Amino acid sequence: MQMQLNQQQQLASVPDAVKRFIVHFHQSIRDGNLPEISLAYESGWNRLTEKFYSKTEWPEAETISPLVGDDPIFLILYRELYYRHVYSRLSPNIDDRFHSYENSCELFNYLLNSDGPAPLDLPDQWLWDIIDEFIYQFQSFCSWKNKVGSKSEDEMAMLAEATQIWSCYSVLNVLYSLIQKSQILEYLKATQAGESTEAVAELVGEYGTRSLYRMLGYFSIIGLLRVHTLLGDYTLALKVMDNVELSQKAPLARVTACHVATYYYVGFCYLMLRRYPDAIRMFVTILNFINRMRQYHTRSYQYDQVNKTGDRMYALLAICSALSPSRLDDNIMNTVKEKYGDQYTKMTQGSEGLQAFEELFTFACPKFIAANPPPYENEVQLAAWLEEPPADPAQKHLALFLSDVHAQDAVPTLRSFLKLYTSLDAGKLANFLDVDEEELVQQMMVMKQSSRSVTRPATSAGSLLQGEVVSTSDLDFAIEENTVHIAESTVGRRYGGWFIRNIEHAQRVFDSMRSQPLPITKTAAVTPPVNGQVEKSDAPAAQSRQTSGRTGRAVWGGANARRVEIEA
C-alpha cells in the first residue's frame, strides 16, 4: 500500500511532456507503426533526455507502468533504454549492472521462448542498438569486475554469489540462439544462391520470415565478430562472418553504426593476422564511406560515435601502412598524416618507432576482455589472484602485436638503401648498415617474408579467412651468392583519368552550349510566340536547317551536324 502510494507520488512528479511521450511511444509500438517508433526512439527520447534527464535517471519502469497499462513488453523495452541511458550518461552501480543483465535476459527470453514469434516490430536501428548495447554492457562489466581492488565488501559478496551474470557463455548463448532461431545463416546462403523468395521463406520458417528476427539474427553475427575479437580469437571472429557479404548493398549497411563497426572489427582481425593489405582495404573502404556520408549525417545522434571509430581506424591504417607500404588513396592518406603525422613518420623508420606503434595501437584497439574473471567465490584463490594477477588483456595483446612489429624493424632501413641500387655486394651493404654480412643476409630474408602477404581478392566471395600469397612491395630483390639484385616496379604515368575528366568536361560544355538558343536564329525566334506553344518546339530545327543551308556552317547538334555536312 505504502509502495503504491510512493509510486503515485513519483508519477505525479514526472513532467507532463515525458508522460505524453511515453503514452505516445507505447501506442506506436502497439500499433507497429515503424516511422512513429523511429521518430520517438531517435529524436523524442534524446530530446527529453537533454531537457529533463541529462544528469539523472529516467523514471523507474514501475513508476510509469500505469501510463502504459502495465504492458510487460513495453516495460522491458523501456528498461532497455533506461539502463542504456544510465551506462552512457551516468555511472552504473552494481545494481544497475545486475538489473540490466536481467532485463536483457527477459527481453531475449520473451523473443526466443514465447509460443511462436513475438508480435513486435522495431526499427533496424533499434535492433542493432539492442545487440550492440548488450555486448557493450558485457564488456564494461568484465573490465569492471576485473578490478578487484576497488570493490566494497557488499559488492564482493554479490559477485561471489552471481557467477553466471554476464558470463561469456551466457552472452555467446544469447547470440547463437538468436542466430539459430532466425535461421539467418540458411537465409543468407539461400539468397546468395539466388533462391526464390518463396523458397527462402519456406526454408527459414515462421521466425526467419519476420524482419525483427531476421535482423536480430543478422546483427548477432556481427555481435559474435565483436565478442570473439574482444576475447582475442581473431580466426573465429572472421570465421563467423563466412556468410555475411561485405558491401554497401548488404543488410549491414542499413544501419550506419553497424556498417562502421563491422569494418572496424574485420580490419582489426586482419591486422592481428598480419594481413596488412586486407586490413588496409577494409579501413580505406569504410573511411571513404564515412567521408561521403559526413555531409548528410551531422545531426544524427550516432555521429560522434562513428567519428570516434573513424579516428581509431585512421590510426590503425597508419600502423598497417607503415608495416606494409603501398600506394593509397590520396585523400585518406592526407587525413592520416594530418591526424597522426608524427607517429607515422616514426613508425616508417624502423625500431625507433616502436613507441609510436604502442601509442597508436593502445588508442585504437578494441577494449579487450579476459574470459575468466577473478575468483570472487573462493577467498583463498582470490588472495592468490591478487598476489599475482594474470596479465591485463590489453597489455597481453599489445605485447603480441609489438612482437610482430619488432620482428621486421630492420626492414625500413634496408628498403631505403636498396632503393638506391640495381645490384650491390652484400658485404658492402652490410658495411653501410654497420652489421656483419651474415646478419644482413638474415635481415634480407625477413624483408622478403614481410613483402609477401596472404590477401583476399577484393571481388571474391566466401570466407574472409581465404586468400592467396601475393607480393605487397614495389621493391623486390634476390641474392645470388653474395650479390643482391634489386628491381623496382614503378607506376607508369597516369593520363587516363586526366583525359576522361577533360572529355567529360568538354561534353558538359558542349551540352550547355547546345541547350542555349542559337545565336543566329535569335532574330527569327522572336516571331514564333504568335503561332503558339505547340509549334514552338518544332521551329528551331526547321530554322536551323535553313540557316545552315544558307551560311554553310554546321549547326549545334550531333546528328544534324553530320547530315548537314553531307548535304553541303
Partner 1 sequence: MAATWIHPASRPTEIDTLVEGVDRYNPANVQYLEDYMYQQTRERGYDCLANLAILKLYQFNPDLYNSDVVIHILLKAITASPGPDFNLCLALLGDRGPYLPTEDPDPLPALLPHLTQLHTLLLTCRFPKFWALYRSPELAPLRENFTIECVGFEDSVREVVARAVRGTFSKIGRDRLGAYLDLKKLDLAEYAHEQGWQMDGHSVVIPPNADNVVKSSVQNEEIKLPQLAKILAHAQLP
| 162 in contact with partner 1 (CB under 8 A) | no
* Cα dihedral across residues 110, 112, 113, 115: positive or negative: positive
CA distance 211 to 216: 8
**Residue 454 CB burial class (10 angstroms; 0-12, 13-18, ≥19):** middle
Which of 490, 523 has the CB closer to partner 1? 490
Taking the complex as a whole, how short is the minimal distance between the CB of residue 78 and partner 1, in angstroms? 32
| 566 in contact with partner 1 (CB under 8 A) | no
Which of 339, 396 has the CB closer to partner 1? 396
Q: What are the distances in angstroms from CA 358 to CA 231, 262, 273?
A: 20, 24, 17
Only one of the segments 19-27, 83-91, 337-345, 365-373 lies at the binding site for partner 1 (rule: CB under 8 A); that segment is 365-373
CA distance 540 to 35: 50
Which of 17, 199, 478, 568 contacts partner 1 by CB under 8 A? 478
Which of 274, 281, 312, 415 contacts partner 1 by CB under 8 A? 274
Which of 35, 247, 480, 533 contacts partner 1 by CB under 8 A? 480
Q: What are the distances in angstroms from CA 241 to CA 40, 223, 263, 269, 458?
A: 32, 10, 11, 12, 16
Only one of the segments 20-28, 209-217, 279-287, 439-447 lies at the binding site for partner 1 (rule: CB under 8 A); that segment is 439-447
Cβ neighbors of 261 (< 8 A, separation 6 or more) are: 132, 222, 226, 309
Taking the complex as a whole, how short is the minimal distance between the CB of residue 370 and partner 1, in angstroms? 5
Only one of the segments 57-65, 72-80, 311-319, 477-485 lies at the binding site for partner 1 (rule: CB under 8 A); that segment is 477-485
Which of 189, 254, 337, 396 contacts partner 1 by CB under 8 A? 396
| 272 in contact with partner 1 (CB under 8 A) | yes
Which of 468, 535, 565, 567 contacts partner 1 by CB under 8 A? 468
| 326 in contact with partner 1 (CB under 8 A) | no
Residue keyed to cell 544501419: 255
Taking the complex as a whole, how short is the minimal distance between the CB of residue 449 and partner 1, in angstroms? 5
Q: Mapping DSSP to helix (H, G, I), strand (E, B) and coil, where does residue 247 land? A: coil
Q: Mapping DSSP to helix (H, G, I), strand (E, B) and coil, where does residue 479 land? A: strand
| 444 in contact with partner 1 (CB under 8 A) | yes
Which of 375, 417, 521, 528 contacts partner 1 by CB under 8 A? 375
CA distance 527 to 521: 11
Which of 438, 565 has the CB closer to partner 1? 438
| 507 in contact with partner 1 (CB under 8 A) | yes
**Residue 537 CB burial class (10 angstroms; 0-12, 13-18, ≥19):** exposed
Q: Mapping DSSP to helix (H, G, I), strand (E, B) and coil, where does residue 215 land? A: helix
Closest Cα to residue 132, out of 290, 265, 281? Answer: 265
CA distance 439 to 425: 14
Only one of the segments 81-89, 93-101, 226-234, 301-309 lies at the binding site for partner 1 (rule: CB under 8 A); that segment is 226-234
Q: Using CB under 8 A as the criterion, what x/- string covers residues 30-69 for binding partner 1?
A: ----------------------------------------
Which of 44, 59, 208, 232 contacts partner 1 by CB under 8 A? 232
Phi, psi of 478 (to 5 degrees): -145, 150
CA distance 530 to 85: 70
Taking the complex as a whole, how short is the minimal distance between the CB of residue 491 and partner 1, in angstroms? 5
Which of 105, 382 has the CB closer to partner 1? 382
- Please work out the total of residues on this chain that contact partner 1, with binding judged by CB under 8 A: 81
| 558 in contact with partner 1 (CB under 8 A) | yes
| 110 in contact with partner 1 (CB under 8 A) | no
Which of 25, 401 has the CB closer to partner 1? 401
Span 414-433, contacts to partner 1 by CB under 8 A = 422
Taking the complex as a whole, how short is the minimal distance between the CB of residue 429 and partner 1, in angstroms? 14
Phi, psi of 380 (to 5 degrees): -65, -45
Taking the complex as a whole, how short is the minimal distance between the CB of residue 130 and partner 1, in angstroms? 22
Which segments of 42-118 does DSSP mark as H helices, in order? 45-52, 61-64, 72-89, 94-113
Phi-psi region for residue 469, left (φ > 0), alpha (ψ -120 to 50) or beta? beta
Which of 65, 243 has the CB closer to partner 1? 243
Cell of 71: 504492458
Span 483-502, contacts to partner 1 by CB under 8 A = 485-497, 500
H-helix or E-strand spanning residue 128 = helix 124-146
| 255 in contact with partner 1 (CB under 8 A) | no
Which of 384, 509, 513, 542 contacts partner 1 by CB under 8 A? 384
